[in-house]
Amino acid sequence: MNKVEDEVALISPLYSAAFSQIAPQQAEAKPRRRRNRNKGGEDSRFGAKKRKLTQEQVDVLELNFGNEHKLESEKKDRLASELGLDPRQVAVWFQNRRARWKNKKLEEEFSKLQSIHDGVVLEKCRLESEVMKLKEKLCEAQKEIQRLGERVDGVSSNSPSSSLTMEAMDAPFLFEFGGYEDVFCIAENSYNIHGMEWMNL
DNA sequence: AAGTTTCAATTCTTACATCA
DNA sequence: CTGATGTAAGAATTGAAACT
């Protein structure tokens, strides 16, 4: 396994985990109860409207998130008192931070898969054009063989020891594959083959 | 079975940008 | 400048599922 595959394999469980939980909800799509607006009013939990954590608070939270994405209850209380926040706020911050982290990972995995996909498409194009070139070569070879065959037929009735007969004999491999007919047959049929299907022939 | 925790989805607020 | 409007980011809530 190469590095990219390694990383993708590492992150991939995120997809299954995410999708396994999203799917049932999408299927049912129950309506959610709307929350009452609390415009400029009192927040039931904090007594006053308190929003937007300070940069310093965020920095400390980020530092702790960097070490451990999950929050032990003890650590939550300690952080909360250290930052002058409600423990609930710390818990919510970690929860939202985990969600953002997960989204970021999914985006990263998506762009990795996309670049792998682009590479594969490019390689497919290259192989297809190679197949086309080989088919053209094959076609030319067949025409040459046919020309030689016709000359052999024309001359053999007059002179069995002519140089043309010898030319024909220089390609003994053709006879091992059952003669010209099979070769022609393959070449004609393979003109309408796309992708790598021709290999099955 | 009831309480707790976690998660995805959603709502709501804030800050900032743009435009008339 | 200023107020209206749009929008991205993130704080907070909700309900369901998993866990204890």
Neighbour-count burial of A63, counting CB atoms closer than 10 A to its CB (0-12 exposed, 13-18 middle, 19+ buried): exposed
pLDDT value at residue A74: 87
Is A99 near strand B, with its CB below 7 A from some atom of it? yes
Q: Is the CB of A37 under 7 A from strand B?
A: yes
**Separation between Cα atoms, residue A131 and residue A128, nearest integer Å:** 5
Residue A140 has a pLDDT of: 96
Mean of pLDDT values over A185-200: 39
pLDDT at A107: 87
Q: How far apart are CA A134 and CA A149, in angstroms?
A: 22
Residue type, A15: Y
Spanning CA of A52 to C1' of B16, the rounded length in angstroms is 14
Compute the radius of gyration of chain A from its Cα atoms: 36
Tens of pLDDT, residue by residue over A10-67, are 334 333 333 333 233 333 334 444 454 443 333 333 333 557 899 889 999 999 998 8
Q: Over the stretch A97-120, which tens digit does the pLDDT of each residue have?
A: 999 998 888 888 888 899 999 999
Asked if A198 and A131 count as a contact pair (C-beta separation under 8 A), the reply is yes
Interatomic distance A59 CA / C5 C1' (Å)? 33
- Are A133 and A200 contacting, i.e. CB atoms less than 8 angstroms apart? no
d(CA A134, CA A74): 70
Q: Which nucleotides of C are covered by protein (CB under 7 A)?
A: 10-17
Span A151-165, pLDDT tens digits:
887 776 555 444 444
**pLDDT higher for A22 or A93?**
A93
Q: How far is the CA of A112 from the C1' of C19 (A)?
A: 34
Half-sphere exposure of A67 (CA within 13 A, CB side): 8
Burial group, residue A19, by CB count within 10 angstroms (0-12, 13-18, 19+): exposed
What mean pLDDT is predicted for residues A83-109? Answer: 90
Residue nearest to nucleotide C17 (CA to C1'): A21
Which tokens in the block code for residue A89?
Answer: 């706020």
Contact A64, A75 (CB under 8 A): yes
